[in-house]
Amino acid sequence: MRMDVIQPFINSADAVLAQGLGTPVSIENLSMEEEAYRRKGIAAEVYLAGEIEGRIIFDVDLGAALGLASRLAGVAVSETDEELVREAVCELANQIIGNAVTTLNDQGFHFHVRPPTLHTSEKGSKSSEDTEALVMCFNTSTGNVFMNVALRYHRQAPETAAAAG
């Protein structure tokens, strides 16, 4: 997996989480995952298609999700406000992906992003040889946010790129 493709997502997650929660965040650990993804909290999934293909899952601990929703809504949000908490996680995913997409597009990568959807199943698809999954854990003051990135750089043939260009 190309780090120049992944790095904007890490930078964006770091910046958006810090702004969203109003406190610094740190990357707790980073690993490659071969097994199918297991959901840990409230998760949103985003698909990308084009020169960069694959999916990213944002999985937020309930505590972190409540903290984020409360901070963004400006009022205390409890576990009973399920819809609002899910909405907050989707909006968080939207902002992180959007900012990363902005950087990558300005660097010359062209691809489309579908709006985030809630990832409700306990397990996600397994990563494969050409879509390895990189898992990052961001530690925040209210809990952990996991970002599971399984992307493939789909290089265009020179003649195709020239024709498109």
User: Binding residues for other proteins, per CB under 8 A?
Assistant: 16, 19-20, 69, 72-74, 84, 87-88, 90-91, 94-99, 101-103, 105-106, 113, 115
Q: Which is nearer to other proteins, 1 or 18 (CB)?
A: 18
In the bound complex, what is the minimum distance in angstroms from residue 87's beta carbon to other proteins?
4
In the bound complex, what is the minimum distance in angstroms from residue 143's beta carbon to other proteins?
19
133 vs 90: CA distance, rounded Å: 20
Task: Give the type of residue at 138.
Answer: F
Contact, 136 vs 13, CB < 8 A? yes
112 vs 40: CA distance, rounded Å: 27
Q: Which is nearer to other proteins, 63 or 98 (CB)?
A: 98
Contact, 165 vs 156, CB < 8 A? no
Q: Which is nearer to other proteins, 87 or 132 (CB)?
A: 87
61 vs 146: CA distance, rounded Å: 8
Q: Which is nearer to other proteins, 105 or 128 (CB)?
A: 105
Q: How many CB atoms lie within 10 A of CB 69?
A: 25
Q: Report the greatest alpha carbon distance in the chain.
A: 55
In the bound complex, what is the minimum distance in angstroms from residue 75's beta carbon to other proteins?
9
In the bound complex, what is the minimum distance in angstroms from residue 135's beta carbon to other proteins?
23
